[in-house]
Structures are given as C-alpha cells and as structure tokens.
Amino acid sequence: MNNNQLLTNKIDGVKELLPNSKGNILIVDDKPDNLRLLATILSERGYEVRKALNGQMALTACRASLPNLILLDINMPEMNGYEVCEYLKANEPTRDVPIIFISALDDVLDKVKAFAVGGIDYITKPFQSAEVLARVENHLTLRKLQKQLQEQNGRLQQEISDRISAETALRESEIRLRHQNAVLVKLSRNNALYRGDLKTALTEITEAAARTLEIERASVWLYNETKKAIRCLDLFELTVNQHSQGLELTESSYPGYFKALAEDWTIAAEDARNDPRTKEFTDSYLTPLGITSMLDTPIRLGGQTVGVLCLEHIGMEAGSSRLYRHWTPEEQNFAASLADLASLALEACERKRLEEEVSQQQRFLDTIVQHIPLAVFAKDVADDFRFVLWNKASEKMFGNSKEEALGRNVRDLYPQEQADFFLEKDLEVVKTGKLVDIPSEAIDTKSGQTKWLRTLKVPVINERSEVTHLLCISEDITERKLAMEALRESEQRFRSLVSNIGGAIYRGKWDYDWTMEFISNVIEEISGYPASEFIHNQVRTFASIIHPEDAEMVQINVERALTARLPYILEDRKSV
C-alpha cells in the first residue's frame, strides 16, 4: 500500500480512516456556539467535522468511527475533558488518537495537567482561526507521518525476515493458485450456478473443494429459519466418492461452535479437537471420523450469513507431518471463493423460486383481469397515455379488440370531444395522485351504440411518488341508467295522477297507528294537517284522526277485508 492509498485500521470493531489529505475531526464542547464556530473554521478548510456536546457523546462517537484528531473542551458537566482524555488513552483502539485541549483556562497548571493526561497541545479561548488551523494541520500531519513510518518499518522488517522463505513458498503458492483459479473459473462458467439447479451446483462445489485441496470431506450447510440449527445440503467424501445430505446440528448441542459462526469470521481450526470453537465435536464427530483439522467459511447472502462451507482434514498416524492441516491464506481465500459460488447458487435458486411464484401470481391475476365482468384497462402516462392493458370485458364493452386498443390512446379510438374529456380526467389523476370516480359518463362505442359507464381511474405510483400508469375500471350502467329514467318517469306520472284525484291516496301499514309510508297532499284539505306529519308517524298517526266512535267499526271492517284479501269501502268520520 503506497502513500496515496487509503490507510485503514480496524481494531476491535473500531474503524479509523486516515485520508491522504485533510481528516476526520471530533469537536467536544458543551457550548453549541463553540461547536458551530470550530466546525465552520475547519469545514471551510475541507475537514470532515463531527460534534459532541458532552463526554459520553464523545466516547460513543469514537466507538462508532475513530477520528483522526479530537478537539476537547476541559470544563464540561458530568465528565470533564481530563476524564475523557484519560478514558481514551486507557483504551487500546483510541489510545493513539491525538487530543488538543481547548479551554478558557490559561493557568500553567491547567496546561500541565492537560499534557499529563495525554494531550498533545492546548488552545486557549477565544479561538483564533489561524491558530486553530495551524495546530490542527500540524498535528494531523505528524500523526499521518508517524503512522506511515510505523507501517513502512513494519513492512520492511517483515520483508527482511520472510524474504528467503517467501521465495520458495511463493513458487509453490503460484502453482496452487493457478490450479485453484482454474477450478474457480471452471465452476463459475457452470450453468448450474445460474439456472437455479442448487443440488447440482453444490455437488460440484464440494467435489471441487475436496479434490483441489486434497481433503477427505467437504460439505455445505444452511441455517434454518431461526438460526438455531444448520442442516447439511451436500457432503462429499473423497475416498468413497459419494455424496450425502440431511445431517443436522443444533445450537443447543454445540453452543460454542454456533457462537463462532455468528461472528462471521472464518474458522480455521488446525487442531480442531482442542480449538475452543470446534472442540465440542470431538467425542461425537471428530474422533470417530478421524478428523483433526477444520476450515469453516461463512456463506453470505443479502448481507447475512445463511450457511457455512465446511472443509475437513483426516489426519494420518501420530508423528506424521500431515496429522494436522495448516490452512494457508491461499486455501482460506479459495474456500471463501467457493462459499461465494455457493451463495450465487443459493441466490439463483431463490430467484428461480421467486420468478416461478411471481409468474404463478401473474397468471392468477391475468386470469382474474381477463374474466372479471368489468372493463379493466391501463394507460402508460409517459407514453402519451397509450393503452398497455385491455381485458376481454373491455373488448365487449367498447367494441375494440385488444389488438386495436394496445399501443393507441383515446384520440385514436374516440371523437375529439369525448377524447378530450377522457384526457382531462386522466390529467386530473396524474396531477393529484388520487383516485377519480366518474359516476356516470356516456360513450359512443365502435358499433355506434351509446353506453353509460361508471369509471374509476386509479393512479399507479412508483417509489419516487410519480404516477407512471393509470388503472381504469369501467362498469356498464346503461340498463341501470335506463331503469332509473323509467322509474323517474313512472313516478312523475304517478304523482301527476295522484295530484289530480279529489280524495287522499295513501299507502300504509296495517298496525295500531296505521303508519303511513305515502299519503297525498289532499289529506291536508281533509284533516287540516300536512301530509309530511303522517309519514312514519313523524308528528301524528293516521289512526289519531279517526273519530273515536268509528274506530271499532273501522278496525273490524278493515281486518275482515284484509283477512279475506278483498277490497273494502268505509264511511267514517275524521277528527279535525
């Protein structure tokens, strides 16, 4: 890695980025005005600035992402700057981060204490921009040079100590790498990886692993849904040249191993029977099968660990140089590449499953759309509102076939005035992004027949909240419309007839109150009360205006006539 490259150190999960120019600076001060001022000064010079209002926030920020330099106020509540500095210097990941104290305190003892707890410099408030920038740039430069020198020294020492042995190992490694790369290239060109044939893909991956690395056993395992167990999808045994599957391991039986897998690190166990990550298998698995070394590599899919590629070496007799297997970096990289290929196979299998599921759902929806007794059609907003969906009911309702409608718009199918009306409603949906309900519209079909429709125009919106298509559903309400018109005409004729009859006409229930559902306005001339007061007994009942002396007679005669289903004529008096 040269000086122009990004220097990256990761210590206990804390990541420190040290760019070639400028840097990441954390400002810690309980005064927002000071934070804003310093942030403005540094940001304008190209520094990446983060801010913290107290000591705890500063520690949290350091754990999240290690800064290149910290500007630390001394006087802060709960945890002062000295305490923050001591904590950072006592912590391995943050020990080497340069800290410049900032304070209004200008006493010599304050400065001495700042340097004693680990500070490298001291800036007195109020700030001077030139001073702040000069000190920050100076210490960042020093820190960068120190790290580069340390890295260069380390590399030089390693190169000197390893050069002789590395030349021989390099030649051998090159041979192995060429062979491994050839195997990987051959596997990567296998169509089984991409067509979703998971079983074939995994058998070829495990065979390639065992034969290339000359190990006895290679297998692929997959987590269950709860991640409390892993199940073997394929195990290849080299000596007997056979595949098997189905074995399952549970977290409850092997908690240490599952914990190690959860770390997402490769488990390269040279002495598997004594390695804390794998020794749980000794009595039940390793010793009975003669396994001495294991290399387990996580299989990741969608950013998550979904399984593991397991490579197992069976040792020879005690004293043999091959009793244990030292897993070289090249072998670990090869295993990682095989795990990536297994991930591709799993992804292709899942994609195939989803495609089949989507295809099935699409066929189901297409069947519904095509056979629903409503006209369903859709328009592409970006393509001049041209039709992209036209079901069978649309063909029947409008008279245009699917071939005639698709790829055209309303201007191609309807007169200008009618097309303009449709487009006006389409634009309303696009503008508002809301459903538009057209309760009644008349259209002229291809055959010249006029039909009345109720149409819903529904916006189809993408992830950017843009209307991309209009889904339209039309119902033929012609018969309903004509029936309503006929009903209105009949009602008008009925009302006209009623209004010209001298007596009161009514329709009511045969109950105690003679509850009226309809009564003509003539009743007001007879009783002195308007018709509305009798409807559903709103003010008074019809029974209340029958003369008390005639009530029993009326009751008897009406009941006799209704029982016999015969008409009746009564003469009675009304109370007015």
Q: Divide the 576 residues of the chain into consecutive groups of 10 and give the mean pLDDT of each group.
A: 34 39 86 91 92 93 92 91 92 91 82 89 88 90 87 84 72 83 88 87 94 94 93 94 93 92 86 93 92 94 90 69 84 93 90 85 83 89 92 88 90 87 89 87 79 89 90 87 79 69 80 88 85 90 87 87 84 72
Give the number of other CB atoms < 10 A from CB of residue 513. 15
| d(C-alpha 538, C-alpha 530), whole Å | 11
403 CB-near residues (< 8 Å, 6+ apart): none
Residue 268: which of 215, 319, 203, 347 has the closest Cα?
Answer: 215
Stated pTM of the model: 0.44
What's the residue count for the chain?
576
Distances (CA, A) of 312 to 219, 220, 291, 305: 9, 12, 6, 20
- Helices 129-188 and 329-371 cross at an angle (nearest 10°) of 80
One DSSP character per residue, 78-117 reads: SS-HHHHHHHHHHSGGGTTS-EEEEES---HHHHHHHHHT
Burial class from Cβ neighbours inside 10 Å (0-12, 13-18, 19+) for residue 482 reads exposed
Give the number of C-alpha atoms closer than 13 A to the C-alpha of residue 69, restricted to the C-beta side.
26
Burial class from Cβ neighbours inside 10 Å (0-12, 13-18, 19+) for residue 368 reads exposed
| d(C-alpha 118, C-alpha 401), whole Å | 84
Give the number of other CB atoms < 10 A from CB of residue 532. 13
Two tokens at 301? 């899919």
One DSSP character per residue, 220-263 reads: EEEE-TTSSEEEEEEEEETTTTEEE---EEETTT-HHHHHHHHT
pLDDT of res. 22: 80
pLDDT of res. 453: 86
3-class state of residue 479 by DSSP: helix
576 CB-near residues (< 8 Å, 6+ apart): 526, 527, 528, 545
pLDDT of res. 154: 82
3-class state of residue 415 by DSSP: coil
pLDDT of res. 524: 83
**Chain-centre distance for alpha carbon 73:** 42
Residue 214: which of 255, 180, 262 has the closest Cα?
Answer: 180
**Chain-centre distance for alpha carbon 362:** 22
Describe the chain by its helix, strand, coil percentages, rounded to 5. 45, 25, 30
| d(C-alpha 277, C-alpha 397), whole Å | 71
Write the single-letter amino acid at 532.
Answer: S
Any idea what the Cα angle at residue 225 is, between residues 223 and 230, rounded to 5°?
A: 20
The separation between the first and the last C-alpha atoms of the chain, rounded to the nearest angstrom, is: 112
pLDDT of res. 1: 39
Distances (CA, A) of 442 to 389, 418, 445, 489: 22, 9, 10, 20
3-class state of residue 453 by DSSP: strand
| d(C-alpha 333, C-alpha 297), whole Å | 9
pLDDT of res. 459: 92
pLDDT of res. 497: 67
